[in-house]
Amino acid sequence: MHDVLILAGMVVADIAILAVWWFIGSRLVPAEQAPASANAETEKGVPMLHEVLTYVCFFLLAGLIIECMAMFPAILVRFGWS
């Protein structure tokens, strides 16, 4: 039962992360109905936001790889080498 709770928590966390990234990504595209001046103001911050999100994504990916590499020996020890 404990493992099911952990799995459910991980699924909820993944869905929350995907929802946040979807929301942030949807903010990168200016509205088609907005006036020209509003689009010009919006487009000024897009390159900076894209750069920040690229670095965040890179560090999250690097952290995930490091975590997987660190957990692999612990998994082998716990569940056996064979």
**If you average pLDDT over every residue of the chain, what do you get?**
79
- By the 10 Å C-beta count (0-12 exposed, 13-18 middle, 19+ buried), 53 is classed as middle
2 vs 36, which has greater pLDDT?
Answer: 2
Residue 80 binned pLDDT confidence (cut-offs 50, 70, 90): confident
At 13, list the tokens.
């966390």
Q: List, for residues 20-51, the tens digit of each pLDDT value.
A: 988 887 777 665 655 555 555 555 666 777 88
pTM, to two decimals: 0.42
Is residue 30 within 8 A of residue 42, CB to CB? The reply is yes
